[in-house]
Structure 1
Amino acid sequence: MKVPEVTLDKIKDARARIRDKVNKTPCIYSLTLSRILQKEVFLKLENLQLTQAFKVRGNVNKMSLLTQDEKNRGVITASSGNHGQGLSLAALRDGVKATIVLPEVAPKNKIDKIKENKAEVIIKGKTYDDASHYAHTLAKEKNYVYIHSFNDLDIIAGNGSIGLEILEEVPQAQMIICPIGGGGGISGVSLAAKQLKSDIKIVGVEAEKAPSMLKSIEADKIIELNTSDTFADGIAVKKPGEINFRIVKKYVDSLVLVSDREIKSAIYILAKEAKIIAEGAGAASVAALLFKKIDTKNISRIVCMISGGNIDVDMLKDILNEFSS
């Protein structure tokens, strides 16, 4: 099976393309987490991205590569929220009509942000995968250009800019830990990081209730789950992308699972101890470290990707109350 390649030059080109349109987020040393874990822990803060999530990077790159004819047709996608925010913002800036299809479980705060970007919002189905099926059908009916949230090489190249930034800011990093939904983020990060530093370890983290990438790697073929019932909507994906599956299989060293309670505990610790607001998906990387899901025996310098911070305020309040009592 041939692995789709995104060369380092293509990732660097993508970063040059998006440089003035997205934030270069900080990768900070966390004294608090370093003391808790007895390692040097750094946090790549994509919760400080324009849309409070990394997805806008790939979206801006993709939008910049569309032809004028494709832009005139309008774009459509399915999203649990963060990809929809990123695509709708990129489309708004380029004067392109955007339609975002979201599942019923999409958080209201993410839906509201997409509407602020003047996109048409359609709520359809119980899961991301239901929304995706409808969005593909609508794309054919209306001749819209479908922009996949993760199974797309241009999206992956844009997301690869995160890997470049991490190793520029923390060249001594020995491991990067990334959350996984469909695999668009970790595909970009692993491709960039492994081409720059071949011995760096890349670890992917999924929710126990949505282990679609892990199950697929174990089976050596794409597996679609029956459910993806995790509160961490950003990684609640029943079926990983084909492109992402191949990249993860080649470049990612290990995959681990965390429970919803472990993710919530990481959200609480990040807020209380590090003063960082992360959504469920964004805190998954830290959860994996805190609950010792990863073998770090010979690793001393670790970067955790905080992939997003778009957590509903009421949910955050409930988590803080639950773990402080």
Structure 2
Amino acid sequence: MTSTPSQVTVAEIRAAADLLSTVIAPTPMEYNRGLSQRVGSDVFLKCENLQRAGSFKIRGAYTRMSRLTPEEKARGVVAASAGNHAQGVALAGQMLGIDVKVYMPVRAPMPKVQATKAYGATIEQVGETLDQSLVHARAWAEQTGAILIHPFDHTDIVTGQATCGLEILEQCPDVRTIVVGLGGGGLLAGIALAVRELKPDVRIIGVQAEQAAAYPTSLAAGHPVAAERMATMADGIAVGLPGDVTFPIVRDLVDSVETVSEGGMSRALLFLLERAKLVVEPAGASAAGWLLDNAGSVQLDGPVVAVLSGGNIDPLLMMRIIRHGMVAAGRYLTFSVRVPDTPGSLAAILADCAAADANILEIEHIRTGPEINVDEVEIALRLETRGPDHQQRVLDGMRSKGYTVIEPESQLDH
């Protein structure tokens, strides 16, 4: 049976930090000039993406598992995870000599599955979401007596994640605002517990993916409510229902819960890669994405600390997200033009694109369609551009030369 959130003290969080000091090192806190210029206050990045096993999850997993009795350790543990918690539990099991079984969604990123196996865990992939995998993990625990290591909804897990909050206060003692990605709420709740006790005037903001956002509805209702949809690339925070342990902590100690778009996370991932030289997964980029989306419209007292919660990203997903981020940042432009189906038409378009200093990435001839005349051809283009202003100059230039330009309803759909 778990203890109540009110029983988690700073002394217990410090004890967890002492325990963890033997297995992990504090992650870096990096000043980011680009974000600072956009936000209008000093912004620091808490780099949990550089944590052992690639995310903050080892903090809670090791804390929880190290406190099991010898008899419980002998029974083994079971977990459900989209990847980061799986790796944290598997690594903790390897260090503590505990057998680990993990249920992961069938579409869990392959590098996360492989890394979990490499730490010695037994993997079974079931269900489309973390919540569905968790059903199987609970059933296995009941069937075998294995101890369920919940990804967020246990006091020991929250206490372990709270050590990140202690590090933030040690590394940036004058912090005024902390922004944290939010899934089930273990990290946000833990940071809130540590910070509220030691520096109560700090503003704490949670950020969920807007297409998997259970907390705003739950907070409005006053109790956990399942999300109506789960359609985000940020698998690390794709949690459909807040926990009984984490929800009241977030409700009582967090100033606000905001949402970030898929495009916002893509832009943040690309920004962090280009400007901070940091590889971050979509969930890990959620806090930075919200800052980028709201720069200039939301006033934040600085210094601001944005937590980069994880960096375990599938390279194939990274390629797609970088392309998505390039579109969102105005670096890719997709449109079509209709021209006479005569020799030289394509060459003229290519020359005009070159004159506009736009690099052609993809090109496609479309000869048939309900709006294409028999003597016309539609040419679909994807160009590399330098930003929204350059895109507009390219489109204006094409129209000024007499081309019929057809733009997609949303560049992000392509």
**Shift, 1:5, TM fit:** 3.3
2:71 and 2:205 mapped to 1: Cα distance?
A: 39
**Shift, 1:282, TM fit:** 0.4
Highest RCO, 1 vs 2 (Cα 8 Å, sep ≥ 6):
1
Q: Which residue of 1 aligns with 2:372?
A: none
The question of 1:249 aligning with 2:244 is answered no
The question of 1:286 aligning with 2:288 is answered yes
1:195 and 1:226 mapped to 2: Cα distance?
A: 34
Contact 2:106/2:128 (<8 A) preserved: yes
Q: Which residue identity does 1:36 align to in structure 2? A: R
1:91 and 1:80 mapped to 2: Cα distance?
A: 17
Contact 1:4/1:246 (<8 A) preserved: no
Cα deviations across residues 80-125 of structure 1 (Å, max 9, x unaligned)?
1100100000001111100000011211110000000110001011
Q: Which residue identity does 1:240 align to in structure 2? A: P
Q: Which residue identity does 1:265 align to in structure 2? A: R
Q: Which residue of 2 aligns with 1:210?
A: 212
SS at match of 2:304: strand
2:323 and 2:226 mapped to 1: Cα distance?
A: 35
Map 1:69-218 onto structure 2 (within 5 A): 69-218=71-220
SS at match of 2:164: helix
1:187 and 1:6 mapped to 2: Cα distance?
A: 11
The question of 1:11 aligning with 2:25 is answered no
2:296 and 2:8 mapped to 1: Cα distance?
A: 27
**Shift, 1:145, TM fit:** 0.5
Cα deviations across residues 233-278 of structure 1 (Å, max 9, x unaligned)?
0010100111100000010000101111111111011111111111
Cα deviations across residues 269-301 of structure 1 (Å, max 9, x unaligned)?
111111111101100000111111897525121
Q: Which moved more, 1:283-292 or 1:25-34?
A: 25-34
Q: Which residue of 2 aligns with 1:60?
A: 62
Consecutive unaligned residues in structure 2, runs of 5 or more = 333-414
2:284 and 2:254 mapped to 1: Cα distance?
A: 18
Consecutive unaligned residues in structure 1, runs of 5 or more = none
Contact 2:32/2:276 (<8 A) preserved: yes
2:224 and 2:296 mapped to 1: Cα distance?
A: 24
Cα deviations across residues 132-172 of structure 1 (Å, max 9, x unaligned)?
01110111001100111100101111111100000101011
SS at match of 2:127: coil
Q: Which residue of 2 aligns with 1:303?
A: 305
**Shift, 1:79, TM fit:** 0.6
- Pairs aligned (count): 324
Contact 2:177/2:300 (<8 A) preserved: no
1:64 and 1:71 mapped to 2: Cα distance?
A: 9
**Shift, 1:3, TM fit:** 4.9
2:49 and 2:130 mapped to 1: Cα distance?
A: 21
Contact 2:38/2:295 (<8 A) preserved: no
2:129 and 2:243 mapped to 1: Cα distance?
A: 16
Q: Which residue of 2 aligns with 1:38?
A: 40
Contact 1:256/1:293 (<8 A) preserved: no
2:321 and 2:282 mapped to 1: Cα distance?
A: 11
Over aligned residues, Cα RMSD in angstroms?
1.4
**Shift, 1:32, TM fit:** 2.2
2:24 and 2:5 mapped to 1: Cα distance?
A: 28
Q: Which residue of 1 aligns with 2:221?
A: 219
Question: Share of identical aligned residues, percent?
Answer: 36
Q: Which residue identity does 1:278 align to in structure 2? A: V
Q: Which residue identity does 2:170 align to in structure 1? A: E
Q: Which residue of 1 aligns with 2:239?
A: 237
